[in-house]
């Protein structure tokens, strides 16, 4: 086969930064350069510089194990946070081979083509090869960035953030260009709100895979095999509009979850948010749009009390900022809210915190527009005028968060307009920064650049400024904030959701897959607008099924802007109100488990939601693109996503047994079962070997109660089921000073006995010496407690409830 005549011929050059062997530099006579960074046994970075110099900005994505990066970004050759890794590098006239304990990278010096192999069971397994016909752009075509990779048949691709359609991205193409996609189709709309150029390749035939992360702020596109060109064979590719090809290969030999954990570690530690962020959050556009908004907001609290709907927070939509029909960030409409402080503290007295909507664009008639423009706080055109954009039925200009003065201005207004009244958190909305003209210039912390080249950076810096304002206002309180748009590293700051979805059964089904894709992209603290935001009002059945799905997600908010002016509320349909209130109480029963999962995300980078195949990569039937998900490693959740269904077919992964949460019935894995699915009992099953923490206290609106209990499925033979959960005050930063405890539960089983051990360690926020532990009623082995006594043993609703009185620690 003929090859391009002008492709670079590389030779191995010296290392940089005085750090032996890291990076390894390949240089060509025409100035082209490839830098290889061995960052860990399982992570190698490739930086391709066609002209030998960096063209892109610093990085705000790379923060290995850290909570943040410098506000002005991190130098792209900064290796802090990465330990020394043993590796070998050998070369001859044709190739360079770099080898760690887990990865072998072979680079052809003729053209710089890379081939990757992963070690397992004492052998190397080839997993990825650059396309032999033109893998990189060394200035042959245009100024864009390209990476072409050979595509193996049967490969699965999962990730790329929240994308519409199937969980497996194979044979599709996607564009990352954050836009306000209100009313999107969860099956087909692209692009959407997030910019996360990371995905996991999984090869079921060998049960191994790897992650690829392209560190870019540019608008970019991924083709995962949709394009076919006979000259090049089967391939997939990445294209960015500008910058550098700077990518990270992450080996994942045994489970795709490893690549997700390592990518999350690479891009920063997920924020540990307050526990109340897991509660139900009310929200609707119509309350704050109403002329009597404060009264409408008061009615919400009255209805919660009337219907005993548990609630921890309310998302205050932007109508509170209105002047006439338009919205002006940080402005309070005193006609709608005549007593701001009284309104906020009235909510707080009921145990409901407020999360206020804020937007990063000032309309041209905003009261503070002239002040901000004069101070240079706005993104400007080359002629010095504001860079005008369309925003909410008016022309305006975005604030420039690459200007430190803008960050200071923003933080001051968050504190003065919101936090000083008792507003608990910020809702960073409409922050896609839709700037398309090359004439708009961002200040870039002293190095100006065209603003359209790093729109997602503005989004990230906005949420960071909001977070920092909350920290400065209340340094001992954990910040809670949400953001609709975002990019790599957003998990360090915010909870997020899938934007302004359309009300339909199809959206319900595909939102599930969107959430899984986001979790497999390092962003676990997420959810959806329950009931659908845009379009028709959901009929009672759809609303019920959406709530029954949403209670399992880290973010649980019912939110809407229905076409007919109706409002999605728990009491929207009288015939469904009691069932919805019951489902919300089930959500609160599960909060100890959800909180533990968020802690594991923060501490160990574990995704909260997982596709079945990610948890069971060796079960071929889990590869199917179904409508099920794992909540952590212990619970299988099977939402009903089709109208009219009253039962649910569920495939149970092989190798373990499963117990129905509702009946206690135990099933062997490796089979499909049909389970009843009434509205008030969403299908969920407990995995063998798991112990799941629950809140078993009776709860009512504005009367929080917490009592720890556990549900377990012991091993059928010999083995030990285990589970644990973190305990702290749920709201302050005292956990950083050691004010945190943990329950550790073990149920060791043999042919005749269950030996239960329940340990408490650390600083527990409340004393509890009697604990309920439930096992399936079919579990008849004798139960003993190694550090206490069994004082009760009854069967209720298919479960055997053991009451254990623990010895004092």
Give bridge partners of residue 388 from the DSSP assignment.
Answer: 397
- Average pLDDT over every residue of 52-61: 95
Determine the structural domain holding residue 753 and report its residue range: 707-806
Residues 576 and 720 in one domain: no
Q: Domain of 717: which CATH number?
A: 2.60.40.1180
- Give the residue from 552, 576, 604 where a domain finishes: 604
- Average pLDDT over every residue of 63-70: 97
The per-residue pLDDT for 14 is 62
**Secondary structure in 3-state letters for 402-436:** CCHHHHHHHHHHHHHHCHHHCCCEEEECCCCCCCC
Q: Quick one: which of 501, 496, 564 has its CA closest to 530?
A: 501
**Secondary structure in 3-state letters for 663-679:** CCCEEECCEEEEEECCC
The per-residue pLDDT for 809 is 64
Distance between CA 466 and CA 426 in Å, rounded? Answer: 7
pLDDT digits (tens, 9 = 90+) for 264-288: 999 999 999 999 999 999 999 999 9
β-pairing, 529-530 with 557-558? parallel
Q: For the beta carbon of residue 692, count every other beta carbon within 10 angstroms.
A: 25
Residues 595 and 713 in one domain: no
pLDDT band at 16 (very low <50, low <70, confident <90, very high): very low
pLDDT digits (tens, 9 = 90+) for 447-506: 999 999 999 999 999 999 999 999 999 999 999 999 999 999 999 999 999 999 999 999
Gyration radius from the chain CA atoms: 27
Distance between CA 458 and CA 435 in Å, rounded? Answer: 11
Q: Where are the beta strands (DSSP E) in 476-599?
A: 481-483, 486-487, 495-497, 526-527, 529-530, 534-535, 557-558, 561-562
Q: Mean pLDDT in the chain?
A: 96
- Give the residue from 566, 589, 604 where a domain finishes: 604
Residue 455 lies in a domain: yes
Helix, coil or strand: residue 558: strand
Residue 651 lies in a domain: no
- Average pLDDT over every residue of 183-198: 98
Q: Are 437 and 429 in contact (CB under 8 A)?
A: no
DSSP-derived secondary structure letter, 276: G
Query: What is the H or E stretch that residue 792 is in?
Result: strand 788-796
Query: What is the H or E stretch that residue 692 is in?
Result: strand 691-695
Sign of the Cα torsion 312, 317, 322, 327 reads positive
Residues 403 and 543 in one domain: yes
Residue 311 lies in a domain: yes
Residue 550 lies in a domain: yes
Residue 479's region, left for phi above 0, alpha for psi from -120 to 50, else beta, is beta
Q: Which two tokens stand for residue 267?
A: 């891009």
The per-residue pLDDT for 49 is 96
**Is the per-residue pLDDT at 20 higher than 80?**
no
Residue 76 lies in a domain: no
Distance between CA 568 and CA 571 in Å, rounded? Answer: 8
Distance between CA 188 and CA 184 in Å, rounded? Answer: 8
Contacts of 385 (CB under 8 A, 6+ apart): none
Q: Domain of 388: which CATH number?
A: 3.20.20.80
The per-residue pLDDT for 13 is 83
Distance between CA 235 and CA 614 in Å, rounded? Answer: 24
Q: Are 255 and 617 in contact (CB under 8 A)?
A: yes
Residue 728 lies in a domain: yes
Residues 574 and 723 in one domain: no
β-pairing, 425-428 with 353-358? parallel
Helix, coil or strand: residue 41: coil
- Give the residue from 604, 631, 662 where a domain finishes: 604
Residues 387 and 536 in one domain: yes
Q: For the beta carbon of residue 700, count every other beta carbon within 10 angstroms.
A: 12
Residues 592 and 713 in one domain: no
Residues in the chain: 809
Residue 384 lies in a domain: yes
**Is the per-residue pLDDT at 206 higher than 90?**
yes
Domain count, the chain: 2
Residues 586 and 713 in one domain: no
**Is the per-residue pLDDT at 432 higher than 80?**
yes
pLDDT band at 19 (very low <50, low <70, confident <90, very high): very low
Residue 401 lies in a domain: yes
Give bridge partners of residue 462 from the DSSP assignment.
Answer: none
pLDDT digits (tens, 9 = 90+) for 728-755: 999 999 999 999 999 999 999 999 999 9
**Is the per-residue pLDDT at 2 higher than 60?**
no
Residues 712 and 599 in one domain: no
Provide the CB-side half-sphere exposure for 54 (13 A, CA). Answer: 13
pLDDT digits (tens, 9 = 90+) for 211-256: 999 999 999 999 999 999 999 999 999 999 999 999 999 999 999 9
The per-residue pLDDT for 15 is 56
pLDDT digits (tens, 9 = 90+) for 157-190: 999 999 999 999 999 999 999 999 999 999 999 9
């Amino acid at each position: 086969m003929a090859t391009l005549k002008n492709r670079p011929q590389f030779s191995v050059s010296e290392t940089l930064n005085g750090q032996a062997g890291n990076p390894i530099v390949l240089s060509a006579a025409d100035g082209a350069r490839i830098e290889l960074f061995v960052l860990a046994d399982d992570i190698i970075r490739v930086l391709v510089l066609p002209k030998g110099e960096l063209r892109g900005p610093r990085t705000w994505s790379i923060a290995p194990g850290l909570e943040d990066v410098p506000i002005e970004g991190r130098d792209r050759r900064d290796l802090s946070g990465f330990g020394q890794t043993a590796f070998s590098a050998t070369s001859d006239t044709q190739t360079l081979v770099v080898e760690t304990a887990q990865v072998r990278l072979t680079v052809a010096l003729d053209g710089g083509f890379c081939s990757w192999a992963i070690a397992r069971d004492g052998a190397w397994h080839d997993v990825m090869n650059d396309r032999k016909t033109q893998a990189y752009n060394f200035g042959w075509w245009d100024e864009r960035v390209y990476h072409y990779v050979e595509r193996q048949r049967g490969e699965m691709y999962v990730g790329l953030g929240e994308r519409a359609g199937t969980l497996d991205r194979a044979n599709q193409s996607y564009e990352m260009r954050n836009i306000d996609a209100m009313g999107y189709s969860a099956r087909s709309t692209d692009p959407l709100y997030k910019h996360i150029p990371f995905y996991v390749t999984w090869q079921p035939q060998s049960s191994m895979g790897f992650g690829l992360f392209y560190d870019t702020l540019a608008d970019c596109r991924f083709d995962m095999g949709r394009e076919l060109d006979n000259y090049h064979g089967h391939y997939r590719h990445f294209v960015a509009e500008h910058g550098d090809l700077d990518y990270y290969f992450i080996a994942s030999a045994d489970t795709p979850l490893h690549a997700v954990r390592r990518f999350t570690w690479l891009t920063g530690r997920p924020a540990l948010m307050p526990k109340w962020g897991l509660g139900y959050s009310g929200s609707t556009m119509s309350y704050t749009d109403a002329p009597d908004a404060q009264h409408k907001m008061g009615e919400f609290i009255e209805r919660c009390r009337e219907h005993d709907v548990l609630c921890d927070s309310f998302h205050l939509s932007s109508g509170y900022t209105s002047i006439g029909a338009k919205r002006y960030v940080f402005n309070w409409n005193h006609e709608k809210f005549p007593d701001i402080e009284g309104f906020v503290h009235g909510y707080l007295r009921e145990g409901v915190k407020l999360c206020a909507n804020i937007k990063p664009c000032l309309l041209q008639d905003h009261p503070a527009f002239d002040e901000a423009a004069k101070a240079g706080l706005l993104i400007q055109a080359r002629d010095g005028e504001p860079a005008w954009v369309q925003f909410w039925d008016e022309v305006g200009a975005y604030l420039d968060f690459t200007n430190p003065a803008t960050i200071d201005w923003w933080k001051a207004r968050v504190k003065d307009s919101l936090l000083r009244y008792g507003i608990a958190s910020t809702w960073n909305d409409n922050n896609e920064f839709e700037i398309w003209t090359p004439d708009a210039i961002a200040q870039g912390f002293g190095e100006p650049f065209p603003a359209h080249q790093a729109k997602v950076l503005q989004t990230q810096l906005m949420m960071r400024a909001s977070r920092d304002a909350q920290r400065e206002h209340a340094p001992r309180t954990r910040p809670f904030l949400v953001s609709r748009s975002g990019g790599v590293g957003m998990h360090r700051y915010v909870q997020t959701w899938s934007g302004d979805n359309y009300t339909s059964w199809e959206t319900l089904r595909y939102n599930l897959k969107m959430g899984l894709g986001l979790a497999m992209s390092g962003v676990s603290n997420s959810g959806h607008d329950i009931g659908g935001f845009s379009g028709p009002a959901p009929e009672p059945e759809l609303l019920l099924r959406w709530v029954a799905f949403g209670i399992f997600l880290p973010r649980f908010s019912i939110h809407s802007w229905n076409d007919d002016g109706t409002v999605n509320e728990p009491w929207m349909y009288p015939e469904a109100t009691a069932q919805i209130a019951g489902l919300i109480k089930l959500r609160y029963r599960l909060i100890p488990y959800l909180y533990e999962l968020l802690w594991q995300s923060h501490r160990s980078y574990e995704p909260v939601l997982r596709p079945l195949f990610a948890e069971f990569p060796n079960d071929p039937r889990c590869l199917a693109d179904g409508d099920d998900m794992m909540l952590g490693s212990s619970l299988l959740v099977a939402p009903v996503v089709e109208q009219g269904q009253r039962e649910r077919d569920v495939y149970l992964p092989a190798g373990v047994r499963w117990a129905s949460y509702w009946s206690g019935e135990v099933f062997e894995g490796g089979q499909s079962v049909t389970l009843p699915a009434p509205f008030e009992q969403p299908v969920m099953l407990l995995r063998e070997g798991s112990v799941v923490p629950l809140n078993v206290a009776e709860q009512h609106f504005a009367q929080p109660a917490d009592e720890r209990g556990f549900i377990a499925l012991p091993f059928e033979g010999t083995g030990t089921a285990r589970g644990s959960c973190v305990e702290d005050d749920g709201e302050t930063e005292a956990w950083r000073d050691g004010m945190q405890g943990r329950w550790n539960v073990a149920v060791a089983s043999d042919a005749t006995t269950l030996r239960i051990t329940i340990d408490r360690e650390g600083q527990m926020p409340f004393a509890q010496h009697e604990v309920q532990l439930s096992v399936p009623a079919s579990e008849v082995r004798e139960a003993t407690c190694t550090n206490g006594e069994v004082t009760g043993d009854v069967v209720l609703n298919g479960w055997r409830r053991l009451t254990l009185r623990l010895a004092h620690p």
